[in-house]
Amino acid sequence: MVEIKIFEEEKGWQEFLDENNYLSFLQDWEYGEMEKNLGRSVLRLGFFYKNQLVGLSQLIGYKRKLASGLVIHHGPVIKEEFLEVGIQALIKFLKENGYSKKYDFLRINSCLANEENYLKIFKKLKFKLAPTYAVSENFFLKELKSDEEMLKEMKDSHRKMVLDSLKKPFLEIEKTTDLTKIEIFWKLYQDLAQRKNFIPYPKSFIFEEFKIFSQKNKALLFLGKVENKYYSAALIIFSHQIAFYHHSASLPIKEPLNYKIQWEIMQEAKKRNCRYYNFWGLAKKLEPSHPWYGLSLFKIGFGGKRIDFLPTLDFVFKPKYYFLYLYEKIKRRKL
């Protein structure tokens, strides 16, 4: 029998994620602290079997007019043999401790592979497919190797652009933890959102992420410039021997500046003994009409493998959830 307990030991939390080869950073302790700073409730739970820690889950509480939900971003992280009983125990804990009255639903955006056996477990436990996703449902992961091997794995056009960029010293790349430099990122990000017609993350969200993770030497802001004008920026998170390409923005430029910034990110990741570079998500369907079509092709060109996760799943606590369900379903159809 799996027992669920409140778990507030940072060192043990991070060690468990490392030991279980966690591919994201959204269950990291720092991510929860960031959400707290943004005014949201954070619930950290440990899954125990015979007093041994077998799983972790960081739940974020989101209050909305239509319905309020508890969301698990890229989690929970549970040893596979305890997955079904662990999720059962989680639902029971939330019901017995009043969370099912405080919130209308539980949303799980897991890092489990998109395989039928995993989906059957959740459907058996009365989860339903969510009308939308909370965070990326796939990753594009590149193994970090020698420079020669990484160049060889790139598409010809990407390899040519990278090598060309390295011959141009006027393409300058800055690496910084200076919080004031987030203003440079933000200007580029706003411009990108207008051009690509998407809703950007709030400035406070990006600032807090940079602040909290950089305090632990787990974040760097990369800025690309030509003749003192900034054209590109990328916020990189380092955790679990992985570098994460989480937020980025750029202005159109003919010079291969964006290729140089990616190469510099990989070099920094290798210095930090990272094993992988996680480009984050790709467009679900590589169609030219998708706003992330160009960015997805850009990522793929560096070489790597795509990992698809289970679709986002919801467990309903109260009927009020269905107001949000209909709203999100209609909204997604319009995209």
Predicted pLDDT at 333: 61
Predicted pLDDT at 292: 84
Query: What is the identity of the amino acid at 209?
Result: E
pLDDT tens digits for 166-179? Answer: 999 999 999 999 99
What is the Cα–Cα distance from 205 to 220, expressed in whole angstroms? 16
Pair of tokens at residue 162 = 């990278």
Percent share of the chain, pLDDT over 90: 91
Predicted pLDDT at 48: 99
H or E segment at 95?
A: helix 83-96
For the purposes of burial, counting CB atoms within 10 Å of the CB of 180, is it exposed (0-12), middle (13-18) or buried (19 or more)? Answer: exposed
Residues 6+ apart with CB under 8 A from 65: none
Pair of tokens at residue 151 = 């160049």
- CATH 3.40.630.30 domain position(s) in the chain: 2-136+310-334, 138-308
Predicted pLDDT at 83: 98
- For the domain covering 2-136+310-334, report its CATH number: 3.40.630.30
Predicted pLDDT at 199: 83
CB 239 within 8 A of CB 231: no
What is the Cα–Cα distance from 182 to 201, expressed in whole angstroms? 13
* CATH class for the domain made up of 138-308: alpha beta
What is the Cα–Cα distance from 3 to 12, expressed in whole angstroms? 17
CB 273 within 8 A of CB 179: no
Ranges of the chain with pLDDT below 70: 332-335
